Structure 1
Amino acid sequence: MTELLSGIVSIIVINLVLSGDNAVVIAMAAQGLSETYRKKAIFWGATLAVFLRIGLTFVAAMLMRIPMVQFCGGILLAIIAVKLLKPEQEHEHASAKKGSGDFKKALLTILWADLIMSLDNVLAVAGAAQGNMLLLVIGISISIPIVLAGSTLLTKLMDKFSWIVYVGAGVLAYTAGEMMIKDQFMANYVHSYPVLEYGIPAGLIILTIMLGRTLRTQKTSSKNAAV
């Protein structure tokens, strides 16, 4: 019983520590939705992401050994970070049908980003479970309410303080950079040029924020010109 509880606690702690960037994705993807669809996106995004992680546990170790998987995943995550900074195209008073479409788009963004980021995360969680799938499912499932609460809080903060959106994008860009330098394809390059270990994540953060800022500025200029 003690070992079971210890294992569950370990999985919960590891999952929460590694889920910070996932909570950022959920919050940023849901931010542009109406209050009703926002709650749905956060709930279903976090819930489905958990099942996705459990499924990934079976294949993550194999995928991580394939060169370029993490590198390409990092590039995709950086693209997602830029897209999440892009202002909503729709008017504030969007129809219910359009809101439904946005909800589906946000949900797909959450799941796609979580799939990319979770490859290395699930290995740590699986290690703590030591092959016990019941332990894995219980530990990750208990983490759901905490991830939900964190995502909800972040969306509210992003509504109130717009600069937090850039911080969130920076976190995702940093995670993307970390994924890229950890890839087997990059191992020799990072070993030969240690500056890449910090240069790639830092460069991605700067590039992501600059591109996001440009997109937002262009959108604002277009709105002003249309008025």
Structure 2
Amino acid sequence: MQIVFVNVLLGGDNAIAIAMACRSLPPRQQRLGILLGTTLGILLRIVLIGVIGKLLAIPFMHVIAAALLIWIGTQLVRPAADEPSVNPSAALWRAVMAIVWADLAMSLDNALATAAVAQPLPEGSRLVIVFVGLAIGAPVIAFGSRLILTLLDRVPSLVYIGAALLGWIAGELLMADPSVSAALYEWMAQVPGVSPAVTGALTCFAAAVLVPLLGRMAAGGARAG
């Protein structure tokens, strides 16, 4: 139940990414995209849990994940009308791959929290219990994706809010890197009254503004082209 709770609590950003990636697909493929994206997300998280220690040991891993998430968020802002004509199958797999890359970037905290919960479990049953916990929480993420997708269909401009949320998460990933956060704290310490908490909030806010802005500029450039 702890694994289910962690998965659902930290899965909201994944639901946003799934909905944004699938919004330009036909209704039938939207359902398939949500199913494939959620399933592959579970498998990816299981793999990440097994290698999370080695993964976080890579220098600037959080910065790499943040840059990846900013790029994905920028791409997901582009309206369907600006997309080049591709066959439905290619469009589906492109959406699924966008979901997988977004999951990879955003699942560091999820995998770390799940690994911490699963650590006291017997080694032989640990993987099975983790898989069951993630699988139980998956329908909630899939339902959340479908709900967000319905909102995006009715109010397309909400895609910019989704992009801003992905940008905010990218900012949090940046602040999770010790080198980056230390450099930002030292730089902002020169401004009177700016605490580390304010520095973190400003970084997240800047990333939240940057992603939809870059997406808007990319869409405008594609339309002009």
TM-score range, shorter chain: 0.7 to 0.9
Contact conserved, 1:177 with 1:204, CA < 8 A, in 2? yes
Q: Deviations over 1:14-40 (max 9, x none)?
A: 111101100100000000001111111
Of the candidates 109, 120, 131, which is equivalent to residue 98 of structure 2? Answer: 109
Deviation at 1:154, TM superposition (A): 0.7
Match of 2:46 in 1: 54
Offset of 1:13 from its aligned partner? Answer: 0.8
The yes-or-no answer on 1:206 pairing with 2:225 is no
| 2:153 matched residue in structure 1 | 159
Q: What is the alpha-carbon distance in structure 2 between the residues aligned to residue 201 and residue 211 of structure 1?
A: 15
Q: How does 1:114-193 map to 2 (within 5 A)?
A: 114-130=103-119, 131=121, 132-192=126-186, 193=188
Counterpart of 2:192?
Answer: none
What RMSD over aligned residues (CA atoms) do the two structures have, in Å? 1.9
| Percentage of identical aligned residues | 33
Cα distance in 2 for partners of 1:79, 1:196 equals: 23
SS in 2 for 1:162: coil
Deviation track 1:95-149 (CA, whole Å, cap 9, x = no partner) reads xx71111001000000011011112211101111224222211110101111111
Aligned residues: 210
TM-score, normalised via structure 1 length: 0.86
SS for the counterpart of 2:29 is helix
CA distance in 2: counterparts of 1:220 and 1:68, whole angstroms: 35
3-state DSSP class of the match of 2:87?
helix
Check conservation: 2:174, 2:181, Cα contact below 8 A.
no
In the other structure, the counterpart of 2:23 is 31
Alignment correspondent of 1:6: none
- TM-score, length basis structure 2: 0.86
Cα deviation digits, residues 135-193 of structure 1 (max 9, x gap): 21111010111111110111111000122211111110000110011113214214423
The one-letter code sitting in structure 2 at the alignment partner of 1:77 is L
Q: Deviation per CA, 1:32-74: give whole Å up to 9, x if none.
A: 0011111111001001110110111011122113221111110
Q: CA deviation at 1:196?
A: 3.5
| Gapped regions of structure 1 (runs ≥ 5) | 1-8, 223-227
The corresponding residue for 1:4 is none
SS in 1 for 2:88: helix
